[in-house]
A and B are shown apart, each in its own frame.
Chain A
Amino acid sequence: MKVGTHLKNTSLDMAHHHTEDNFHQTGEIPKPQTKAIWRTFVILVAITALEFLIAFTMDAGTARNAIFIILTIFKAFYIVAEFMHMKHETKTLMWSILIPLALVVWLMVALLAEGSYYYESITNYFR
C-alpha cells in the first residue's frame, strides 16, 4: 500500500519536471487502484446506516448524542485520511492543519457553557 502510493507520487513528480517527455509517453495507462477507495466508501455507508439505526432504536439523551459524535469523528477521519489523502502527506502538513482546529474545540466548550448559563439565568429569573 505504502509502496504503491510512493510510486504514484514519484510518477506525479516526474510529470511535473519532464512535461514534454510525459506528453509523448502517454501510450500506456496503468490499471486503476481503487480497492482502498471502495473500502472507505463501504465504511462510510455502514457508519451512516448505523447512525440511522441508533436514531430510531435508542431514546434521545446524552448517551445517544455521545455515540453520534464519536461516529461522526470516525466518518470525518476516513474522509480526511483516505479521500483527502491526509494520511499520505507529511507529518508537518498534517499537524499544521489539525492543531489550529483545537481553537474550534475551545469555542465549542465556551459557547455551549455560555448558552446553558443563559438558559439557567432566564428560567431562574422568572421562577
Chain B
Amino acid sequence: MSTSTTLEAPNTGTWDGGNEPMKASYGKLMMWFFLLSDAFTFGAFLITYGLARHAHKPYTGEAEAFTFSTEWWPIPEKVFNAFPGFHGVDLPLAFVALMTMILILSSVTMVLAVEAGHRMDKNDVQKWLLWTILFGATFLGCQAWEWSHFIAGTDQGMLLADGTRVFGANLTVNQYGPPLFADLFFFITGFHGTHVFTGWILLLIAFISTVNGVYQKRGHYEMVEKIGLYWHFVDLVWVFVFTFFYLI
C-alpha cells in the first residue's frame, strides 16, 4: 500500500511529467500509439488480401453454378457456409454473423466495465469484466471451430484434373481456391485471434486484480480503461476483417 502510494504520487513540474498536453495519462497515450501501429499491421494484411484478389482471376459465372477451383478466387459466402450441428446444410455467413454479434456484445460489456470503473463501483466492474471474459472465450471457441472446419474441408472437396480430390486447406493445398486464399485466411484471422487471446489474458488479469481490490486501493480503474481500448480495437479490426474477407 505505502509503496503504491509513492508510485502514484503526481509529478507537478512542467518537465517532470506534470503537464499533459493531450489530457491523457502516459499509459493511455502509449496504448493509443500502440494501437495506431497495430492498425498499420492489420491494414497491411488486409491490403495484401486485396492485392492478391486483384491479381487473381475473378469468378464471373452464375453464383448458383459456382464450384471450387484453383483457377479463380472463391466467393466467400460459398466457402463460409457451415454451422456447427448443421452438417451439409448451406447456411452462408450465418456462423460469421454469430461471431460478429458475440464480439460486439463483448465490446459493450467492456465499455460498461470501464463506465463502472469511473464510478469506482467494484461490483459492477467485476460483473461486466466477467461477461466480457465469457464472450471473449466464446468468440475464441467459435474461431477454433471455424479453423478446424476450414482445415478439414467439405464432403465433396475439390475435383482435380487427374480425377483425384483434395479436402480442406493448409498453407500449400487449398480446396476452396488458390492456395493464397487459404494462406491469407490463416494469417489474417489467426493474427486477429491471437489479439483476442492476448486481450482475453489481460482481461483475466484485470478481473483478478479487481476482485483483490487492487484498483480500488489505487484510487482509479485506469488499467481497465487501457485494456478496454485494446479490446475495442480488436472488435474494430474484426469489423474490417468481416467486411473485406467475408462480405466483399
Contact = CB atoms under 8 A, between A and B. Distances in A.
A63 interface: no
Given A12-B220, A90-B23, A41 B120 contact: no
B52 A115 contact: yes
A80 B29 contact: no
Interface stretch (B100-108, B145-153, B188-196): B100-108
A34 interface: yes
A121 to B, nearest CB: 10
A2 to B, nearest CB: 15
B183 interface: no
B47 A22 contact: no
Contact of A119 (B44, B55, B108, B112): B55
A23 B5 CA distance: 11
B204 interface: no
A30 B120 CA distance: 9
B165 interface: no
A69 interface: yes
B239 A97 contact: no
B49 to A, nearest CB: 10
A65 B36 contact: no
B55 A23 contact: no
Given A37-B108, A79-B235, A32 B116 contact: yes
Contact of B22 (A30, A75, A90, A103): A90
B202 interface: no
B236 interface: yes
A84 B232 contact: yes
Majority DSSP secondary structure for residues of A touching B: helix
A112 B43 CA distance: 13
A69 B243 contact: yes
Given A23-B217, A48-B101, A115 B119 contact: no
A101 B67 CA distance: 38
Majority DSSP secondary structure for residues of B touching A: helix
A11 B118 contact: yes
Interface in A14-49: 15-20, 22-23, 26, 29-30, 32-34, 37-38, 40-41, 44-45, 48
A92 B51 CA distance: 33
B89 interface: no
B240 A76 contact: yes
A20 B108 contact: no
A115 B55 contact: yes
A97 B36 contact: yes
Contact of B104 (A33, A48, A114): A48
A111 B44 CA distance: 10
B32 to A, nearest CB: 6
10 contacts: A22-B220, A37-B112, A38-B108, A41-B105, A51-B243, A89-B24, A90-B22, A92-B22, A96-B22, A112-B54
Interface of A: 8, 11-12, 15-20, 22-23, 26, 29-30, 32-34, 37-38, 40-41, 44-45, 48, 51-52, 55-56, 60, 65, 68-69, 71-72, 75-76, 79-80, 82-84, 89-90, 92-93, 96-97, 100-101, 103-104, 107-108, 111-112, 114-116, 118-119, 122-123
Given A68-B248, A76-B240, A100-B36, 18 more contacts: A15-B120, A20-B5, A20-B219, A22-B220, A23-B216, A29-B119, A55-B77, A69-B248, A72-B243, A76-B239, A79-B239, A84-B232, A93-B24, A107-B43, A108-B43, A114-B51, A115-B55, A118-B54
